[in-house]
Amino acid sequence: MIRLATVVLLLSFPALVYAADAPAAAPRAARSIHLHYPAPDADAFYNEVTVERSVPGSYFMACGFRHGYFGIQELSGGRKVVLFSVWDASRGDDAEKVPLEKRVEVLHQDPAVEVKRFGGEGTGGQSFFKYDWKTGETCRFLVRAKVDGQKTAYAAYFYLSQEKSWKHLVTFRTFTGGDRLNGLYSFIEDFRRDTKSAGEIRRAAFGNGWVLAGGWKPLLKARFTASSSEWEAKETIDAGVADAGFYLQTGGDTKTTTPLDRTIERNGSDSKQPDVPAE
């Protein structure tokens, strides 16, 4: 039996009846997806990225670690950059409130590289190098770590394909408690987040990853994970192995072939130890 009070409530607030049937809000962005590489603590991390599909507002991150990340972005108007960031050893999102002694230090800066502070997702130091990377071009990244007491200096190197040489972009130093390179990962992110971007595909191949830990060791396994943000599209994600490397794809009409949290493994027979600059 329906009580009179219940009837009065439904008549007074009809929205309660239909709330369950209300359409869900359209996702603002394609889902951020990641590859986590099981690896020992390392002194260097090398990785390669070949972007296969991109749109403005895309970040293809190659070398992520506990204290920072390194990759390439496509900005608005077709502008493209190489981005390397390292976090402060402090909590909060306001970069101006971090005491000077807790801020990331700049030990090296190439003249062609812009360095500035960032906030909003933690705080730290970030660097930008203008580089017009192309779809189908294999971009090569190297991060070296040097521990100095409770701090670690992270040096970022990017390979210039046309010049066939490495460029030392920047070296940031931060409090780490003596960490080397650990918690290694890669990702694709849609940072435009204007609803339309959720319907656009981003895809990249990540291949020939290596770490230096008592000798060079190839990264042959990766675990597929994704962001849990409510405003991202949930189902249009995928990861897998192709051409001896891993791939990530998100957005648009992407179909999932690999379940989340699945560990995938690439063929290491063609892995070539990287030719990288010395310290």
Q: CA distances (Å), 228 to each of 65, 186, 253, 264, in order?
A: 20, 17, 19, 21
Q: Which two tokens stand for residue 95?
A: 């970069």
Give residue 272's pLDDT: 85
Q: Which two tokens stand for residue 51?
A: 């972007």
- The domain limits of the chain are 24-213+228-265
pTM for the model stands at 0.90
pLDDT at 3 over 50: no
pLDDT at 110 over 60: yes
Note the pLDDT tens digit of each residue in 66-100: 999 999 999 999 899 999 999 998 889 999 999 99
| CA–CA distance, 119 with 142 (Å, rounded to integer) | 25
DSSP label of 247? E
Note the pLDDT tens digit of each residue in 263-273: 999 988 878 89
Q: Which two tokens stand for residue 40?
A: 């020992």
Q: Which of 215, 207, 211, 217 is nearest to 264 (CA)?
A: 207
> Which H helix or E strand runs over 169?
strand 165-175
- For the domain with range 24-213+228-265, which CATH number is right: 3.30.70.330, 3.40.50.970, 2.60.120.200, 1.20.810.10? 2.60.120.200
3-state secondary structure of 177: coil
Q: Which two tokens stand for residue 92?
A: 């909060």
Which long-range CB contacts under 8 A does 156-162 form with residues at least 24 apart?
A: 156/70, 156/84, 156/127, 157/276, 157/277, 158/82, 158/129, 158/131, 160/131, 161/137
Q: What is the mean pLDDT of the chain?
A: 92
